[in-house]
Copies of this chain bind each other. A is one copy, B any other.
Amino acid sequence: MTRPKTTARTVDNPSVAEVTLQQLLEAVADPVRRSVIAQLATAGHDISCGAFDLSVSRSTATHHFNVLREAGVIRQHYQGTTKMNSLRSDDLDGRFPGLMRAIIESCVRETGQIAEAR
C-alpha cells in the first residue's frame, strides 16, 4: 500500500476562533517552542523550519512546529521546498487580549538572559 503519506505542499493554519486557551498555554509551556517564538520575534522576518537553532532532532522540531501552528502561535506557508514560519502575534489578540504580546516579550527576555549569561 503506497498511499500518499505526506500532504501536498499546502498548510492549513487554523482560524483564531478554533484555538482554545488550553492549546495556547500548553504550546508556550515548552522551552523548545518558546525558543522558536523568541527567534521569530527577534529576527523580525520569516524563518524556514531548518534555519532555527534548536536542540532537538528534525522530527521533533516538526512536531513542535505543528503544535505551535495548531495553537495559532505561528503561521506556516511553503516557499518551494522550504516551509516558512512567522508569528501570528496580532491575530490572537482579539481572542486573548494582551496575552500573546506579553508571552512573546517574556520569551525574548528569557533567551536574552540565557545569551548574556554565557
Contacts and interface: CB of A to CB of B under 8 A. Distances in A.
A105 B21 CA distance: 11
B31 A22 contact: yes
A98 interface: yes
Interface size class of A (residues with CB under 8 A): 10 to 19
A28 interface: yes
Nearest to A101: B98
A90 interface: no
A22 B33 CA distance: 12
A34 to B, nearest CB: 8
Contacts of A106: 21, 96, 99
A98 B98 CA distance: 7
Contact of A25 (B29, B96, B97): B29
A91 interface: no
Interface string A31-45: 100100000000000
